[in-house]
């Protein structure tokens, strides 16, 4: 079994401070504008908070920047990302499947990935838009973290996921005690309650966990047209999504080249030179996002590319809620 320790919150904070010397550490802090995900420094590290649910922006912004020169050499600083939730870790796995595909490894992604230490957390205060549990996922990280934190009443449990995580823990130089069975049981009970809360808050949405087959049988459904009606093609949904990976290579001067995020929601995305376009109509592009996430990427990489983080629901200018679309398809 993986090692689990417990520490007091204050000791943990002091430990994080010690890490600032070596790493670029990002975490959620209290600011005048509410909670902000920021680079930590000596001044703001005291305002580090436990964020009950996932962060904004998604982890994608760190591993796969909006725009990146992909010809010149880069040397990213070793980075620690704190506050990452289970949903984002699952999204990272889907990005890995694309960018670390052994046939062609994207070295820019790989370099950032290798340089990033992930300190994840259990999600204890899910948002209204969260629906990971409805997809059969857990609201706590299962794998893919270096360290995982569970905030209990008066202490933090730390699960070590990798050797690198252990090394960071050692560098924090804090007093660690191994967690006992009662503490682990307390954590597990809390985790169970959170999953139940998510299912409860999504009660009014009724769709099966097996969305792959739901979609397979509904390609021609009118639901796509109905829900696409309020879409304004703003690409917010694909931008905020932690698992959307599409980009366009932009040619710069002197053979320089940038990899810039792109969106399948854009009308020119699939257009070819003669003018042929497999997704001319907005509803076809709208439908494509769902198929990509729940069908195509499952078939291509074996991973569902929606992790139920609800960011696209929050971001949508057309007030389109993925859960309502799925509910209508299941009717």
Partner 1 sequence: MSIYKPIKAKIDRVIDETPTIKTFVLIPEKPIEFTTGQFVEITVPGVGEAPFTPSSSPFVKDKLDVTIMKVGTVTEKLHEMKEGDVVGIRGPYGKGYPLDKMYGKEVLILGGGVGMAPLRSFLLTVLETPDKFKRIVLCYGARTPQDIVYKEQFEKEWMQNKYLEVFRSVDRKDETWKETEGVVTVLLDKFKMDYDNAVAVVCGPPIMMKFGTLKLLELGFKPENIYLSMEKNMSCGLGKCGHCALGRYFVCKDGPVFSYDMIMDIPEIWE
Ligand X SMILES: Cc1cc2nc3c(=O)[nH]c(=O)nc-3n(C[C@H](O)[C@H](O)[C@H](O)COP(=O)(O)OP(=O)(O)OC[C@H]3O[C@@H](n4cnc5c(N)ncnc54)[C@H](O)[C@@H]3O)c2cc1C
Q: What residues make contact with ligand SF4 under the rule CB under 6 A?
A: 231-237, 240-243, 265, 293, 306-312, 315-318, 320, 322
Contact region with partner 1 (CB under 8 A), list: 18-26, 158-166, 178-186, 295-303: 295-303
Rule CB under 8 A: say whether 328 interacts with partner 1: no
Query: Which of partner 1, ligand X, ligand SF4, none does 234 bind, CB closer than 5 to 8 A by kind?
Result: ligand SF4
User: What DSSP letter does each residue of 244-313 carry, written as one string?
Assistant: ---EEEEE-GGG-EEEEE--TTSTTTT--TTS--TT-SHHHHHHHHHHIIIIIHHHHHSS-S-----HHH
Query: Which of ligand SF4, ligand X, partner 1, none does 280 bind, CB closer than 5 to 8 A by kind?
Result: partner 1
Residues 10-69 contacting partner 1, CB under 8 A: none
Mutual orientation of helices 86-99 and 107-114 as an angle, nearest 10°? 140
3-state secondary structure of 170: helix
In this structure, the number of other CB atoms found within 10 A of the CB of residue 255 comes to: 7
In this structure, the number of other CB atoms found within 10 A of the CB of residue 98 comes to: 19
In the bound state with ligand SF4, the residue whose beta carbon lies nearer, of 91 and 194, is: 91
Q: How far is the CB of 97 from partner 1 (least distance, A)?
A: 10
Residues 220-279 contacting partner 1, CB under 8 A: 245-249, 251-255, 257, 259, 262, 264, 269-274, 276-279
Query: How much is the CA Rg of the chain, to the nearest whole Å?
Result: 21
> Among candidates 124, 128, 40, 57, which has minimal Cα distance to 91?
57
Q: How far is the CB of 48 from ligand SF4 (least distance, A)?
A: 25
Residues 267-286 contacting ligand X, CB under 6 A: 272-273
User: What DSSP letter does each residue of 92-120 carry, written as one string?
Assistant: HHHHHHHHT-TTS--HHHHHHHHTEEEEE
Query: Which of ligand X, ligand SF4, partner 1, none does 104 bind, CB closer than 5 to 8 A by kind?
Result: partner 1
How many chain residues bind partner 1 (CB under 8 A)?
42
For partner 1, the binding residues (CB under 8 A) are 70-71, 98-99, 101, 103-108, 219, 245-249, 251-255, 257, 259, 262, 264, 269-274, 276-280, 292, 295-296, 299-300
């Amino acid at each position: 079994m993986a090692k689990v320790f417990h520490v007091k919150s204050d000791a943990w904070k002091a430990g994080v401070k010690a890490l600032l010397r070596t790493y670029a550490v990002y975490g959620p802090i209290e600011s005048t504008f509410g909670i902000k995900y920021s680079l930590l420094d000596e001044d703001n590290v005291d305002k580090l908070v436990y964020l009950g649910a996932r962060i904004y922006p998604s982890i994608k912004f760190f591993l796969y920047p909006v725009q990146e020169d992909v010809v010149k050499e880069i040397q990213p600083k070793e980075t620690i990302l704190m506050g990452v939730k289970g949903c984002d870790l699952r999204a990272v796995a889907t990005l890995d499947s694309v960018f670390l595909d052994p046939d062609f490894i994207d070295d820019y992604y790989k370099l950032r990935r290798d340089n990033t230490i992930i300190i994840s957390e259990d999600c204890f205060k899910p948002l209204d838009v969260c629906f990971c549990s409805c997809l059969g996922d857990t609201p706590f990280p299962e794998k893919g973290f270096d360290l995982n934190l569970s905030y209990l009443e008066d202490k933090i449990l730390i699960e070590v996921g990798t050797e690198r995580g252990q090394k960071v823990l050692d560098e924090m130089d804090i007093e660690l005690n191994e967690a006992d069975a009662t503490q682990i049981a307390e954590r597990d009970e809390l985790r169970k309650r959170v999953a139940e809360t998510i299912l409860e808050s999504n009660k009014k949405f009724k769709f099966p966990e097996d969305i792959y087959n739901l979609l397979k049988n509904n390609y021609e459904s009118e639901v796509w047209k109905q829900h696409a009606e309020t879409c304004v093609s703003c690409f917010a949904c694909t931008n905020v999504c932690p698992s959307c990976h599409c980009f366009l290579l932009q040619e710069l001067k002197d053979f320089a080249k940038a990899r810039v995020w792109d969106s399948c929601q854009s009308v020119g995305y699939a257009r070819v030179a003669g003018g042929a376009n497999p997704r001319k109509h907005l509803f076809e592009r709208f439908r494509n996002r769902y198929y990509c996430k729940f069908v195509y990427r499952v078939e291509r990489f074996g991973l569902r590319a929606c992790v139920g983080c609800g960011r696209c629901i929050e971001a949508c200018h057309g007030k389109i809620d993925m859960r309502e679309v799925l509910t209508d398809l299941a009717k």
